[in-house]
């Protein structure tokens, strides 16, 4: 497994086009693997996520079973002149050594962009329908409901740092809600989904389960930039 980071040059028209459409970005990411057939039914899972840290600091993260070649992204949305002088424009790291070192009880900062949904019935007698959680309270609870099966526990805040509202008892924030609506390439109709980004601190409870989440994703809409969780050292 590999973890790749690519910095997007937001001043480029190609970058703005990619960032405006999860469908277009997904196609660009999948085009980074010449050895992989994107139409294959059993194609390995490739996860990706966009981190918008600042106006001029937008990062693309990719977790994949093979090493990507992002030359086309450098040409469209990077710094081609810098790449020509010897800087490739992205960094790829072997992910397996890090995953193997995960131990029960260790504490990490984490980030996750996800599509928090539930199944609700809009009318009596009608089948349930997948519906997005739209309030921070329910979006936070969506993640908390999945932490045990995912192999981690979101840490609690010290009591003197808590406020009264629901969800504030955890070291967890939800931000950057985006309501997306775009056409699906090669298919009729449109895709609508809500994404949010979680930042928090967790403790590993089941290393094997957490490894599966880190390489396979959490939740729905993985093809559209959701599900990728990354860890960072505390401090």
Pick the CATH number of 2-99 from 3.30.300.130, 3.10.180.10, 3.20.20.80, 3.30.70.1200: 3.30.70.1200
- Tell me, which fold does domain 102-232 have in CATH? Alpha-Beta Plaits (3.30.70)
Stretches where the chain sits below pLDDT 50 are: 40
pTM (2 decimals)?
0.88
Q: What is the pLDDT of residue 124?
A: 66
pLDDT for 180 equals 83
Domains of the chain, by residue range, sit at 2-99, 102-232
* Cα–Cα distance for residue pair 223/221, rounded to 1 Å: 5
Distance of alpha carbon 157 from the chain centroid: 24
CATH topology match: 2-99 vs 102-232: yes
For residues 162 and 140, is the Cβ–Cβ distance under 8 A?
no
> What is the separation, in whole angstroms, between the first and last Cα of the chain?
26
Residue with tokens 């966009």: 50
């Amino acid at each position: 497994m590999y973890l790749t980071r690519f910095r997007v040059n937001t001043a480029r028209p190609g970058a703005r086009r990619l960032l405006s459409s999860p469908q277009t970005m997904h196609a660009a990411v999948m085009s980074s693997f010449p050895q992989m057939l994107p139409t294959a039914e059993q194609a390995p899972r490739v996860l990706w996520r966009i981190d918008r840290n600042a106006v001029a600091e937008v990062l693309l993260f990719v977790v994949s079973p093979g090493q990507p070649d992002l030359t086309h992204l450098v040409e469209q949305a990077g710094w081609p002149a810098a790449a020509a002088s010897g800087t490739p424009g992205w960094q790829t790291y072997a992910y397996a050594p890090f995953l193997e070192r995960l131990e029960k009880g260790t504490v990490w900062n984490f980030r996750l962009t996800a599509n928090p949904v539930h199944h609700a019935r809009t009318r009596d007698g009608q089948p349930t329908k997948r519906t997005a959680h739209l309030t921070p309270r329910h979006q936070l609870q969506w993640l908390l409901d999945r932490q045990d099966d995912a192999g981690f526990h979101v840490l609690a805040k010290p009591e003197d740092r808590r406020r009264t509202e629901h969800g504030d008892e955890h070291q967890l924030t939800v931000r950057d809600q985006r309501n997306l609506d775009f056409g699906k390439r090669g298919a009729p109709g449109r895709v609508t989904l809500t994404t949010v980004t979680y930042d928090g601190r967790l403790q590993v409870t089941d290393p094997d389960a957490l490894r599966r989440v880190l390489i396979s994703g959490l939740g729905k809409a993985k093809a559209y930039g959701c599900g990728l969780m990354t860890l960072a050292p505390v401090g």
